[in-house]
Amino acid sequence: MHRASPASHAIQDDQAVKTMHLSKRQAQVLALVAEGATDNEIAIQLGLSAKTISSYVKHIRTRFQAQSRAHAVALAIRQGLLPDSDSPDREV
């Protein structure tokens, strides 16, 4: 049986989200997830319920076929849907 390498999984991940787009609200939620915010913290900041935020995150993960919140963030950054937090032009 042939087992796919981690590199081939990354290529498949990139192909799966090439045409992916985020709504403004989804991008806001995912950007806050990328900063490490919990659903409750995001809900307070955006004036929504934690259940609504949880639903957004679940929908985003499903669309990206992401295994975790971090995986969804990584895929979105790779596709240019979120700014890379390690970019040199970011102020510290």
DSSP 21-71: ---HHHHHHHHHHHTT--HHHHHHHHTS-HHHHHHHHHHHHHHHT-SSHHH
State the pLDDT at residue 91: 46
Q: 21-78, which class in CATH?
A: mainly alpha
SS3 1: coil
Q: Mind listing the pLDDT tens digit for each residue in 45-89?
A: 999 999 999 999 999 999 999 999 999 999 999 999 887 665 444
